[in-house]
Every structure is written in C-alpha cells, then in structure tokens.
Amino acid sequence: MADEDFFRALPKVTLHDHLDGGLRPATMVEIADEVGHRLPTTDADELGRWFHQTAGSGSLREYLTTFDHTVACLQRADDLCRVAREWVADQVADGVIAGEARWAPEQHQQRGLSLDETVEAVAEGLRQGMADAESAGTPFVARQLVTAMRHADRSLEIAELAIRHRDTDLVAGFDIAGGEAGNPPGKHLPAFQRLREADFFYTIHAGEEGELASIHEAVQLCGALRLGHGVNIVNDITRGSGGRHKLGRLARFVRDQRIPLEVCPSSNLQTGVAATIGEHPVGTLLWLDFNVTLNCDNRLLGATTLSREYALVSEAFGLSTGQLAQVALAGASALFLDHAERSRLIEQLTHAWSRASVNEPAVSVQPALWQR
C-alpha cells in the first residue's frame, strides 16, 4: 500500500479543517508567552504530544476541552492573521491545493475584537498565505467557513456575519460546531433559513456523536449541503442474511442525493467512534458508494496530516490509488467555490491522480460492516 509520502506528492483538497485545531505548537508557545496564558508546557514538542494524548480520551466532550488553550492564543487580530497564514503554509507543505478553514468568530472576542474584525484578520492571513504559495510556485485556494457554536444562541448573528463578508473576505460558507449531544441542528433553524434566503453555502456538523435524528434534522429540516463527519449514518445500515447490506430510508437518501460526508478518521478514533481505522465506518461507506471525502478535522489534536489520513485508510481497507482518486475528486467537487474555479481544481486532480494510478491493478475493497 502507498505510504504518507506517496500521498503527499499528490494534490488534495481539505473541506473539514478547524483553524483553531491546527495551530503549530511553537506558535502557541510564543503567543501564550506574550498574552500571559499558561499552557500545560512551554516545550513545543511536549505541547504537541500533550494535545494528542489529551484529545484521545474517547469522548468528544473531553476532546473539545483542549480548545481552551488554542482559542486563548487567538484573541488578537495579529495572531488570527498569523495562524491563518501558517494554516495555508502547512496545507501547501502537505500537497493540499485548496481548502476551507473553519472557525468560530464568537470565540475570539475576549480581548475586545468585534466579530467583523476577527473575520477580516483571518481573511488577511489567508490572503498572505496564498500570496506566499503563489510566489513559491505552489498556488493554493483558501476560503474560510464562519462557524457558530451550537450550544450558544448566536447562530443567526453569525450567519449574518458570514453573509456580510461573503464578497470581501473569502467567506465561502457557514457551519455549526461544538458538542452535538443536546444541541440538535434544528435549534438553529432560523440561521439556516436566513442562509437559504441569501443563496449561501453551508455545511452542518452532524453524525459525529449524535444519533440518526441529528443527521435527519441536518439534512431534511435544515437543508445541509454537506455533513461534517456524518459517519453515524451507518447506524441506518443493517446486514441481513447472505451478508447483503440494507440501507434505511435516511441512509439511502444521503447516499442517493450524493450529500458529501466530511469524514475525519483519526479524529473519530479520538472521540470514540471506532477503536481502530480498520473498524471505522468509512470502509462500509466507501463500499456502499456514499459520497465520502477525507479530512483531518484538527491536525494538532490528531497529530495528523491529510496525506496521513489517505495512507491510513488505504492501508486499512486495501484501497487502490484509483479508488482514493475518487475520494480526492469527491472533495474537490464539494468545495464551496464558483464552478469555474472548482472545475479547474478537479482537472488538476484528475490529471495527477490518473498518472499515479495508470499502472496499478484494480483492487476491490470489501470492508466488514461497521458493528456497534
């Protein structure tokens, strides 16, 4: 099976990558010292290990507590700008050619920034990162997804913020994030209705820890164009006599409507979705032809890269380069971009992945059905 270096050399896109979950440990140490925030350690290598170990508790609730430190380091405009610029640089170093940085402006007002100032700061950092990449001969397309916290009551306000900055500050879409349990998507229906009125893109975190009802609300009530994680849709899939899979009505709808699933395998292991990559629902979802995309979620917490996610899934399920090319293309096709730019990226990916798989024999993946 291909290793991480092989996939790093191939162009990829990232749909689900939290800005505040991908800080460089060394950057955090510097900023924390300047603002007087106490970190678990001031050694960058040790700090990286601390995040990875602490996030691996098997609980989404515990996983999210690590953001207390990353968010504390992102309360000044210059720091938001710096981290956004580094976000682009780190993606480029991993062979990623386009991506959406998602983050929640409402969490970055502790030092007096307005919501608009936070969005403008991230946009400036993304622009600087893209300029750096262009100068280095590795062009990158960066956008930001403005996110509301699902446990709070500011989603309509944040939706208006996203709409207000859509044409000036690289804001491509909207999301809700945070603890899913007890915070169903329908709680934020007014925000999604406003986004539809404005013809604006949005994705919804659903099916990460929540039950099928959360996915149903996201898709059928709120009109999600993509699903953040979405892997618990496998709970609507059974295996009957003879080993044939049977899809429930919701699973069939999500698959047949080609709703993109922003799957983040390593992150899901840390929050208890599965114990190993080989047991992760992504195998079943790929086998049943769901519209799967691969993502990192939070690179700092997962000690991961997008190339690593591709390598892990390839090894666990025996996927060929050609099969993973379809996953890469699914991601590019789901970007919240205008048609012409998205088509250009799809063409770039198609050419590179076709060359990489031209002499490879066909492989058929047959993962075991995800068992609860």
Active site residues: 208
Residue type, 121: A
> pLDDT (tens digit, 9 = 90+) per residue, 146-173?
999 999 999 999 999 999 999 999 999 9
- Which of 92, 103, 116 shows the shortest CA–CA distance to 14? 92
DSSP state of 40: S
> pLDDT (tens digit, 9 = 90+) per residue, 256-310?
999 999 999 999 999 999 999 999 999 999 999 999 999 999 999 999 999 999 9
Spatial neighbors of 294 by CB under 8 A, at least 6 apart, are: 263, 264, 265, 282, 306, 309, 310, 313, 327, 328, 331
- Rounded CA gap, 249 and 75, in Å? 44
> What does the block give as tokens for 103?
């983050």
- Rounded CA gap, 303 and 299, in Å? 6
Q: What confidence score (pLDDT) does residue 371 get?
A: 35
pLDDT confidence band for 359 (50 / 70 / 90): low
pLDDT of residue 372 exceeding 70: no
User: Please, which residues bridge with residue 320 across strands?
Assistant: none
- Rounded CA gap, 3 and 309, in Å? 10
Q: How many residues does the chain have?
A: 372
pLDDT of residue 370 exceeding 60: no
In this structure, the number of other CB atoms found within 10 A of the CB of residue 182 comes to 9
> pLDDT (tens digit, 9 = 90+) per residue, 229-251?
999 999 999 988 777 899 999 99
CB 151 within 8 A of CB 179: yes
Q: Is the pTM for the entire model greater than 0.85?
A: yes
CB 28 within 8 A of CB 70: yes
Q: If you compute the radius of gyration of the chain from its CA atoms, what whole number of angstroms results?
A: 19
Q: Mean of the pLDDT values across residues 79-89?
A: 98
The helix (run of H) or strand (run of E) holding residue 206 is: strand 203-206
Q: Do strands 12-18 and 96-103 pair parallel, antiparallel, or not at all (unpaired)? A: parallel
For 74, counting Cβ atoms within 10 Å of its Cβ (0-12 exposed, 13-18 middle, 19+ buried), the class is: buried
**Sign of CA pseudo-dihedral 6, 8, 11, 12:** positive
3-state secondary structure of 182: coil
pLDDT of residue 55 exceeding 70: yes
Domain boundaries, the chain: 4-23+81-357
pLDDT of residue 366 exceeding 80: no
pLDDT of residue 1 exceeding 70: no
CB 35 within 8 A of CB 73: yes
Q: How many helices (H) and strands (E) does the chain have?
A: 17, 10
Q: What confidence score (pLDDT) does residue 363 get?
A: 44
Q: Mean of the pLDDT values across residues 57-65?
A: 87
Task: State the SS3 of 48-89.
Answer: HHHHHHHHCCCCHHHHHHCHHHHHHCCCCHHHHHHHHHHHHH
Place of tokens 């990353």: 70
- Report the mean per-residue pLDDT for the chain: 94
**Sign of CA pseudo-dihedral 181, 183, 185, 186:** positive
DSSP state of 220: I
CATH of domain 4-23+81-357: 3.20.20.140
- Rounded CA gap, 80 and 71, in Å? 10
Task: State the SS3 of 152-163.
Answer: CCCHHHHHHHHH
pLDDT confidence band for 369 (50 / 70 / 90): very low
Q: What confidence score (pLDDT) does residue 60 get?
A: 85
Share of the chain above pLDDT 70, in %: 96
pLDDT of residue 177 exceeding 60: yes
- Which of 324, 325, 329, 330 shows the shortest CA–CA distance to 290? 330
> What does the block give as tokens for 159?
């939706």
